[in-house]
Structure 1
């Protein structure tokens, strides 16, 4: 994104989102600004972010633009680079109107300052949404045909399997991995025998079992460590029973795939490849019930649960599922997790990050005849008191999914403070 200032007192900005060539978009916006006599006052780029899957307000570049001051226009390269849904486009334009800023597109001749221009811009957004839906339909149809032909439709290769050239025609098929299949059979056998996912994870680590191909190993005491999420994902993959996952049109909020959403024949029965199965369909159903029964911390005895801080109780929402994150532990470390899609956020880094942001951004805000910073100091170590202070300043706090790893990723945190006159 770019910000521009003309030779007089007004200021302008241009915005560039995902493209095959970000450099090309930036150059086009700069030339457009130069032709109109505008001066650049800043650049904001959202690289590698899909306008189809991400709303403008959830992107770092767009949020940084709205946080900037003194600009009168926003130039985007094309309407469909900003938004692929009409509603998202209208929300983005509304946010600019509240700032008194207009919207201009380099490749699309739109002028949001007139009723005719606004109508034309909405039409472009409609066509962008139609194109995105057409692409999704083509992808779904192609995947369905691959599965119908018995070929591998792509994506992450399940543990215990390999992709190989299709001996009966074009494309690729799945085959069992001779090195990892014995481990897969052992994992499934232990789970069906009542062994918990955590216990299986510990066993795999202690035995030095090979990790999934292409995975990023986590080091622990000089060795390679498995993690619970990997094992749980392995046990929930329907390929264990020779079935192929098939989730056409699965919404973004359903990040955790339904293990029973599988490719089916014309009669609605699952298509089973016996050559890939390590358990029967009936055993797979039993396995899923066992896993679901142990998913929630509330399923464990109260004496076995570890106490966690109530500081963020019913404060943080999952951005994908729009539900409050629950408190829990993972390998005895405090985490927040989504009860729907199962994404997690480690609190060891998240809590200190949030507290630092609160005191830095809102510490001097007035609160109860004093300031936020003073009330925070008076709260001491009381998590309940701290939570009440946080809620007086918070508009919304959401966490989106990200790459699971060792390090805290602040880009996953979508934080909005209350308007200063309403804190």
Structure 2
């Protein structure tokens, strides 16, 4: 496909993390505009994914790229470099195939490629291969550097565990952890209360009423009150630093996948490396504490009479984007929710159910199901959630939930939904 001088194009820019040496979104778009102007193409749209990793996400899972695909007619997509679109060859080829299906080509400014020609397509695939190799090399260097830092007993950075603080390493470069005099006594009391049988919710309530200082990354609410929650306390009690052990990946953000609390630095005999100066309890006590927490948080571990029933409306319907497994039904503080059994991401059911029902009736209400329209079948189902699930599933091609910001209200951008016969939408 060749574009004429009156061709229409859209611009796309992506950036993972802004750094001194990175090419900003603004600079990427400026280069793309100049390229379009030089070729006599009219720019009909600009789309951005800022703070999004190409290694961790496919183009079709990004808000900006999906908005681009949903835009009106265009003949080409201009990007700054191939790795701005994808760092995996298969992701790149899939994105290019999607553009081809709508008669559009891909053009990269800094890489000498033009996907509107066969030669350009072949060269672009080679660049994508090198981009994937570069990404893997970067990951390998980061893993090696982190492993060496951990081996040296230094702190690799990231979120500092509650009750501790980061100080300059007295024995060399970098930083190390030490107990924080302001918070370590609070942490010790939290551990003591948990070991004597208090629930996580009860401990959170006690901390709030006692005015315990929050973790450094938390902020006080506008009202000025200090509120602890169940998730924060549970996270404190699952950190292996409590037993003086070093997590394999300390500093992992709270919104990331839950890490095995026993994935820690070990010696040549396979035993955990323990820093007694940081330990608040023994390794065996830490293991017992984890068993207690797991027995309380997994609904299946409770007696059937104690379990709270949940609606089957979304049973085995929604999948986790990252883990590709069905989300499970559960409750959190007596509110219905879905959670991923692997990465533990959650989403509340109240707003999600209402959102899905509204879209089902608005977008598929006139479609036929078992001789009735969707609206008629839905009305007949009444309050029977099993029957309502049947109506939803009859129209649903895919429902995937991606991770959101912890504590944020319902965000419809987390919901990746597509109906039968339609492309994925949000």
- TM-score normalized with structure 2 length: 0.90
Q: 113-122 or 75-84: which moved more?
A: 113-122
For residue 219 of structure 1, report the CA deviation from its aligned partner. 8.0
Residue 113 of structure 1: how far off its partner (Å): 4.0
In the alignment, the residues of structure 2 paired with residue 406 and residue 72 of structure 1 have an alpha-carbon distance, to the nearest angstrom, of 38
Q: Does 1:225 align with 2:227?
A: yes
Contact 1:6 1:37 in 2 (8 A): no
Q: How does 1:307-346 map to 2 (within 5 A)?
A: 307-346=309-348
- Deviations, residues 41-65 of structure 1 (Å, cap 9, x unaligned): 2221111111111110100111111
- Relative distance call for 1:286 and 1:75 in structure 2 (3 A) is same
Task: Give unpaired runs (5+ residues) of structure 1.
Answer: none
Q: Is the 8 A contact 1:325 1:338 kept in 2?
A: yes
Counting only pairs closer than 5 Å after superposition, residues 113-152 of structure 1 correspond to structure 2 as 113-152=116-155
Contact 1:397–1:414 under 8 Å retained in 2: yes
Indicate how the Cα distance of structure 1 residues 289 and 244 shifts in structure 2: closer, same or farther if over 3 A, else same.
same
Mean CA deviation greater in 11-20 or 77-86: 11-20
Deviation digits for residues 359-395 of structure 1 (CA, Å, limit 9, x no counterpart): 3333343444443334333333322222112112212
More deviation, 308-317/207-216 = 207-216
- What is the aligned partner in structure 2 of residue 215 from structure 1? 218
Aligned length: 413
Contact 1:219 1:225 in 2 (8 A): no
Measured after TM superposition, the shift of residue 7 of structure 1 is: 7.2
Equivalent in the alignment of 1:171: 174
In the alignment, is the contact (CA less than 8 A) between 2:9 and 2:45 conserved in 1?
no
Per-residue CA deviation, residues 271-316 of structure 1 (Å, 9 max, x unaligned), is 2111000011121122222222233111112222222221111111
The answer (yes or no) to whether the contact 1:77–1:105 under 8 Å persists in 2 is yes
Q: 1:125 to 1:406 in 2, by over 3 A?
A: closer
DSSP 3-state at the match of 2:310: coil
Pair 335,115 (structure 1): closer, same or farther in 2 beyond 3 Å: same
Distance 1:223 1:312 in 2: 36
Q: Which 4+ runs in 1 deviate beyond 6 A? A: 5-9
Q: C-alpha root-mean-square deviation of aligned residues, in Å?
A: 2.5
Partner of 2:393 in structure 1? 391
Q: CA deviation at 1:80?
A: 0.5
The 2-side partners of 1:70 and 1:26 are apart by: 20
**Larger mean Cα displacement after TM superposition, 222-231 or 308-317:** 222-231
Q: Does 2:425 correspond to 1:416?
A: no
Secondary structure at the counterpart of residue 48 of structure 2: coil
SS in 2 for 1:277: coil
Deviation at 1:209, TM superposition (A): 2.2
Give the whole-Å Cα distance in 1 for the aligned partners of 2:104 and 2:73.
9
For residue 188 of structure 1, what is the aligned residue in structure 2? 191
SS at match of 2:114: coil
> Which residue is equivalent to 2:33?
30
- Once residues 102 and 90 of structure 1 are traced to their aligned partners in structure 2, the CA distance between those partners, rounded to angstroms, is 12
Q: Could you tell me which of 231, 234, 239 is aligned with 1:237?
A: 239
Alpha carbons 2:7, 2:42 under 8 Å: kept: no
Partner of 1:284: 286
- Residue 16 (structure 2) pairs with residue 14 (structure 1): no
User: Are the equivalent residues in 2 in contact too, given 1:6–1:39 (CA < 8 A)?
Assistant: no
Deviates more, 1:411-420 or 1:341-350: 411-420
8 Å Cα contact 2:295/2:302 also seen in 1: no
Distance in 2 of aligned mates of 1:73 and 1:20: 22
Contact map agreement 1:6 1:12 (CA 8 A) in 2:
no
Aligned to 1:246: 248
Q: What CA distance in whole angstroms lies between the structure 1 residues aligned with 2:356 and 2:307?
A: 25
Report if aligned partners of 2:7, 2:41 keep a CA contact under 8 Å in 1: no
8 Å CA contact 1:75, 1:103 repeated in 2: yes
C-alpha separation in 2, matches of 1:69 and 1:389: 31
Once structures 1 and 2 are overlaid, which stretch shifts more, 8-17 or 311-320? 8-17
Matched residues in 2 for 1:274 and 1:178: separation?
Answer: 16
Q: CA deviation at 1:269?
A: 2.8
**2:128 alignment partner, SS class:** helix
* Pair 1:46-2:49 in alignment: yes
Partner of 1:101: 104
Task: Please name the residue that 2:263 is paired with.
Answer: 261
TM-score with structure 1 setting the length = 0.90
Matched-pair contact (CA < 8 Å) for 1:32–1:106: yes
Q: Which residue of 2 aligns with 1:348?
A: 350
Conserved 8 A contact 1:246-1:261: yes
Which ranges of structure 2 fall in alignment gaps of 5 or more residues?
A: 16-21
Q: Which residue of 1 aligns with 2:91?
A: 88
How many angstroms apart in 2 are the aligned matches of 1:391 and 1:56? Answer: 26
